[in-house]
A and B are shown apart, each in its own frame.
Chain A
Amino acid sequence: MRDISTLPNLLAEIKTAEQLAALEIEYLGRNGHINALARTLQKLSPEERKEKGAQLNALKQDVLELFERKKDEIQNEQQSHLTDFDTSLPGIKQKSGHLHPTSLVVREIYEYFTYLGYSVYEGPEIETEEYNFAKLNLPPDHPARELQDTLYILEPEYLLRTHTSSVEIRCLTQEKLPVKIITPGKCYRNENTNASNNAIFYQLEGLFIDKGVHMGHLKATLDGFARFLYGENTITRFRCKYYPQVEPGMGMDIQCQLCQGVGCAVCKYRGWLEVVGAGMVHPNMLSACGIDGEEWSGFAFGFGLDRLVMMRYGITDIRSLYNGELVWK
């Protein structure tokens, strides 16, 4: 029988996992040294067996520990070889795609309004004059209906929607009140394109109809929105403004962040930038949708997305947003 005390020296000479496995069998295998010793115990008296048995167990633990230690040693050795190459080389790029900037801004705005319980509502782009104009308090001779502004498919009945207010009408005529929606989407106008005007543009409107909704709620909603979108320190201003779909009408400005309200070229020397048009939904619009304006009230608001997107991403020509020529770095 080999002397256990030589084991550390034997282990020291071992280089590979295979050699170690062989040695382990030699000691701890079924016919290994430890089991051989165990077999010798059977010949001893019970008292001796108890004493020697305990010694043997201790010995076995020591041996196991020696092997474990050596195993770790070999593994560490091997691991240090796993990085025997130039780790300073750049990582291999994993590609993923990018959203269109308009989608990114819609998602951002969506975040604010879904938090407040708004749904996203959609409607057709090819609209009828009834949904695009008549029900929106824009009677037949209203200037907003002019042929020069509207792209007609079949005048006067079928046209491309000029705003997403038509979607509000779709909602008010189809859904049960109360409703709380935002309506992002493409709109169209009959225009020769240039750097700041395009025949297609994106608009986002919002609508909240319930019992007891008033201008104070509108102010809180828009003020929170301005600070969400433009930063916590944004200063807002509310003023009277005319839109046919609302009465009273309201405009929200934010203080120009470039000149801090002093006046500069960007804010046309007003010190303020118009960001949202809004107001209390016009009683004519409610009744056109079969809603009792004495029982229900609500507000609507809206703004163009393109200018906001352009500001966010440093785009100077509106045409480049939708002509397929945007390329991510």
Chain B
Amino acid sequence: MKIPLHWLKEYVDIDVSVNELTDKLTSIGHMQDKKPEQVENDTVIDLEVRQNRPDCLSVLGVAREVAAVTGKLVTAPSAQYPSTALRTGAVQSTNGKDKLHIENAAPDLCRRFIAYRIKLPQRNSGLSTPQWMVDRLTAYGIKVISPLVDITNYVTIELGEPLHAFDMRFIEDGEVVFRRAHEGEKLTILGGRVLTLTNDDLVVASKSNALSLAGMIGGADSGVGPDTTEIVLEAATYNQASIRRSSIRHSVRTEASSRHEKFLHPQLAEVALGRAAQLVLDICNGKIVAEADSYPKPESTPKILLRISELARLGGVSISANDASGYLKSLGFSILNAELSALQVSIPYWRTDILCEADLVEEVVRMYGYERTPVVIPAFAPPKNITSYWFTLEEEIRDIMLAHSFDEHITEPLTKSDGDTRQVVLQNALNSQKDALRLTLQEGLRHALSHQKKFGREEVRLFELGKVYEKADHPKSPYTERRQLGFILHNAHAPTQEVYLRAKGVVDSLCTKLGYTLTDNLYQISVLDKNSVYVALEIERYWSPETPRVKADKRLYTSIPHLHTFDISLYLPKAHQPGVVIQTVKDGWKEVENIDYELFQPKDANMVGLLLKCTVSGATHKHVLIEAIAETLKKTYSAIIR
């Protein structure tokens, strides 16, 4: 929000430097956005918009904050309007001839709609905007157009309530209709764009035509022009969500929409309309001929009890009821009842953000100063450790993968939908290349691999710990996500078999280190090309907290067995796989701790030569063991022992 300082000074005395001012505002919750600018003869400060403070989208709102934080009083602009009748929200139409009637056809979306019918003594083009208003609007950054338009813009920025003026010639019989747009209804807005409206959009209309997109922007035709001599000036309070959705639907962002999409109190509409009417009367010599107000359910302002003890319990600071009361009053709150232990606080209409006691705690503490409250080192007993099992397991896996020279990658879970029925597809992705969730980690890692190969890396080892996502049949959770470990092993000079077996060895080693049993369904190896393989491990499926586990660091020898080695050399009929033979020996003789092997080609082309290099631990009768193994291999695989 841009605030020209000359304009701000209209409502509050400022005797601090610009830097001090922005520092103070920052500390109470209005952070300086861009640095102050010089516009003509004025300094314009820029404050970040707070989503819950529509009042600070106005110069007066900021003036109230400045007054409170610098200990000054704020002077609101004076106006003799609105009339008492309007204040009570009872008026519908007046003055037999100059009719004005509001038909609110969507009261659920419009809390209040209030308007004046005003006659001008001459055409709009004959009037001019006073210099002070021109200067302020220019400093703020709004183009000066004509007095009537300038007045509505001025009051929008001054008070934070957007207003609109229609040329009376477009309002047949003084009948202003507020309604939902018809599906497909067209409206040409200021600037010339033609919008095709939906039933969820709101329009201000005459009996026959939509005149403006309510709360957002006027129609190109119905606004005031050089020939205008009579207007309807209106202010309203809408359902903010409805405004926001329309604004997004039609990509229309205006000073009006950015205010109406926040909660503006209906009382503000009458204050702003009165102020605008006053300016039209003063500047244009206008005359109010009719007034109307549709305010079906008058809204009150809340009263909230602030217990002084809450300031210490939440804010950690001891502030007396008297001081708290002072801070609140400086912000425009009124204290209905003050006791030492509690204050009954009435909330001013412009503070629609204050809804509960904690909100008042913030008000008091921010005026006291966040910087001044005590810093207290927490001295609580440590709560139970509830660290996620998976976080801890993944950290262990990371360390093991690092030790096996794998580099970690994190790739995006968003991918392009490919028609796979298991895939979780997004409904509203802006980027059509990223409109679904991945079913595998492979894609991201393959991209990482090709990137590295492109830059001449010959040996690449990559891994990722991440989730894959799938549709599920479960009625309670139609989607599942589960953790996987994916890794890629690539060596430009190694044959496929070697790369494959190395990858398999990594899985083996990972299981050993973590203390899990290696099972076939745990992992899947895919050969990507002749030098690269991808391995996926279903860690969440098979390594749950209940999975039995003997950690490597628990497997410690207290008395060290001697290691013995022996070789068994054999010919194996080609029908049998050497890997199966090795597994048979491993499974059958637990004392065999390790088996290395060599393959060779004997003369007989129907046979495979296999040299088993076994390591056994402990006192063993080697010859008996060799005999037993050889016997089994002969029987089971028709092996010929050499």
Which residues of chain A have a CB within 8 Å of any CB of chain B?
Answer: 95-100, 102-103, 107, 116-117, 119-122, 124-126, 140-141, 143, 146-148, 150-155, 158, 160, 171, 175-181, 186, 188, 190-193, 199-200, 208, 210, 212-217, 219-221, 223, 237-242, 244, 247-251, 263, 268-270, 274, 280, 282-284, 297, 321-328
Residues of A within 8 A of B386 (CB): 119, 121, 171, 175, 179, 181
Residues of A within 8 A of B33 (CB): 268
A150 to B247, alpha carbons, bound, how many Å? 17
Interchain CB contact (< 8 A) of A117 among B317, B382, B406: B382
Is the pair A200, B413 in contact by a Cβ cutoff of 8 Å?
yes
Residues of B within 8 A of A99 (CB): 398, 402, 408
- Let me know if B6 is at the binding interface, CB within 8 A: no
Is the pair A100, B408 in contact by a Cβ cutoff of 8 Å?
yes
Is the pair B402, A220 in contact by a Cβ cutoff of 8 Å?
no
| A to B CB contacts below 8 Å, 5 in the list | A148-B248, A190-B429, A242-B29, A248-B358, A269-B35
Residues of A within 8 A of B467 (CB): 125
Q: Specify the chain B residue showing the minimal Cβ separation from A298.
A: B314
Q: Specify the chain A residue showing the minimal Cβ separation from B28.
A: A240
Interface size class of B (residues with CB under 8 A): 35 or more
- Let me know if B123 is at the binding interface, CB within 8 A: no
Which residues of chain B have a CB within 8 Å of any CB of chain A?
Answer: 26-29, 31-35, 50-53, 239-241, 244, 248, 261, 312-317, 356-359, 361-362, 365-366, 370-371, 373-378, 380, 382-388, 390-391, 395, 398, 401-414, 424-431, 434, 437, 444-445, 447-448, 451-452, 455, 457, 461, 463, 467, 469, 478-479, 481
Interchain CB contact (< 8 A) of A247 among B261, B317, B362, B378: B362
Is the pair B383, A178 in contact by a Cβ cutoff of 8 Å?
yes
Is the pair A98, B408 in contact by a Cβ cutoff of 8 Å?
yes
Is the pair B51, A247 in contact by a Cβ cutoff of 8 Å?
no
- Which 8 pairs, one residue from A and one from B, show the smallest C-beta to C-beta distance? A216-B316, A324-B448, A141-B241, A214-B316, A248-B362, A240-B29, A216-B376, A117-B382
Q: Specify the chain B residue showing the minimal Cβ separation from A319.
A: B412
Q: Specify the chain B residue showing the minimal Cβ separation from A154.
A: B427
A121 to B384, alpha carbons, bound, how many Å? 12
A237 to B33, alpha carbons, bound, how many Å? 16
Residues of B within 8 A of A180 (CB): 382-383
**Given A97-B408, A188-B414, A323-B412: A210 and B383 interface contact (C-beta under 8 Å):** yes
Is the pair B316, A217 in contact by a Cβ cutoff of 8 Å?
yes
Q: Specify the chain A residue showing the minimal Cβ separation from B471.
A: A153
Min distance, Cβ B380 to any Cβ of chain A, angstroms: 5
Interchain CB contact (< 8 A) of B403 among A97, A212, A250, A270: A97
Residues of A within 8 A of B431 (CB): 192-193, 199
Is the pair A125, B383 in contact by a Cβ cutoff of 8 Å?
no
Is the pair A153, B378 in contact by a Cβ cutoff of 8 Å?
no
Is the pair B428, A190 in contact by a Cβ cutoff of 8 Å?
yes
**Given A242-B53, A324-B448: A248 and B391 interface contact (C-beta under 8 Å):** no
Residues of A within 8 A of B409 (CB): 100, 324, 326
Residues of B within 8 A of A221 (CB): 378
Is the pair A126, B316 in contact by a Cβ cutoff of 8 Å?
no
Residues of B within 8 A of A214 (CB): 312-316, 376
Is the pair B383, A327 in contact by a Cβ cutoff of 8 Å?
no
Is the pair A179, B383 in contact by a Cβ cutoff of 8 Å?
yes
A250 to B369, alpha carbons, bound, how many Å? 11
Interchain CB contact (< 8 A) of A120 among B357, B359, B388: B388
Is the pair A199, B412 in contact by a Cβ cutoff of 8 Å?
yes
Is the pair B427, A100 in contact by a Cβ cutoff of 8 Å?
no
Q: Specify the chain A residue showing the minimal Cβ separation from B261.
A: A143
Interchain CB contact (< 8 A) of B248 among A146, A219, A223: A146
Residues of A within 8 A of B430 (CB): 190-192
Is the pair B447, A324 in contact by a Cβ cutoff of 8 Å?
yes
Residues of B within 8 A of A237 (CB): 371
Min distance, Cβ A239 to any Cβ of chain B, angstroms: 5
Residues of B within 8 A of A126 (CB): 424, 437, 469, 479, 481
Is the pair B316, A122 in contact by a Cβ cutoff of 8 Å?
no
A27 to B613, alpha carbons, bound, how many Å? 44
Residues of A within 8 A of B388 (CB): 119-122
A200 to B438, alpha carbons, bound, how many Å? 13
A216 to B447, alpha carbons, bound, how many Å? 48
A179 to B407, alpha carbons, bound, how many Å? 34
Q: Specify the chain A residue showing the minimal Cβ separation from B426.
A: A151
Is the pair A283, B451 in contact by a Cβ cutoff of 8 Å?
no
Is the pair B241, A297 in contact by a Cβ cutoff of 8 Å?
no
Given contacts A223-B375, A247-B358, 15 further A-B contacts (CB under 8 A): A96-B405, A103-B398, A103-B410, A192-B430, A199-B429, A200-B412, A215-B365, A216-B375, A240-B370, A263-B35, A268-B35, A322-B412, A324-B411, A324-B448, A325-B451
Is the pair B29, A158 in contact by a Cβ cutoff of 8 Å?
no
Is the pair B29, A152 in contact by a Cβ cutoff of 8 Å?
no
Is the pair B366, A240 in contact by a Cβ cutoff of 8 Å?
yes
Min distance, Cβ B87 to any Cβ of chain A, angstroms: 29
Is the pair A100, B376 in contact by a Cβ cutoff of 8 Å?
no
**Given A153-B426, A153-B479, A188-B414: A215 and B314 interface contact (C-beta under 8 Å):** yes
Min distance, Cβ B473 to any Cβ of chain A, angstroms: 15
Q: Specify the chain B residue showing the minimal Cβ separation from A125.
A: B481
Q: Specify the chain A residue showing the minimal Cβ separation from B374.
A: A216
A193 to B432, alpha carbons, bound, how many Å? 12
Interchain CB contact (< 8 A) of B410 among A102, A215, A217, A297: A102
**Given A143-B51, A179-B386, A186-B413: A241 and B408 interface contact (C-beta under 8 Å):** no
Min distance, Cβ B506 to any Cβ of chain A, angstroms: 11
A328 to B408, alpha carbons, bound, how many Å? 10
A155 to B425, alpha carbons, bound, how many Å? 12
Is the pair A151, B479 in contact by a Cβ cutoff of 8 Å?
no
Interchain CB contact (< 8 A) of B434 among A124, A199, A250, A269: A199
Q: Specify the chain A residue showing the minimal Cβ separation from B392.
A: A120
A250 to B50, alpha carbons, bound, how many Å? 13
A171 to B385, alpha carbons, bound, how many Å? 12
Residues of B within 8 A of A328 (CB): 407
A210 to B383, alpha carbons, bound, how many Å? 9
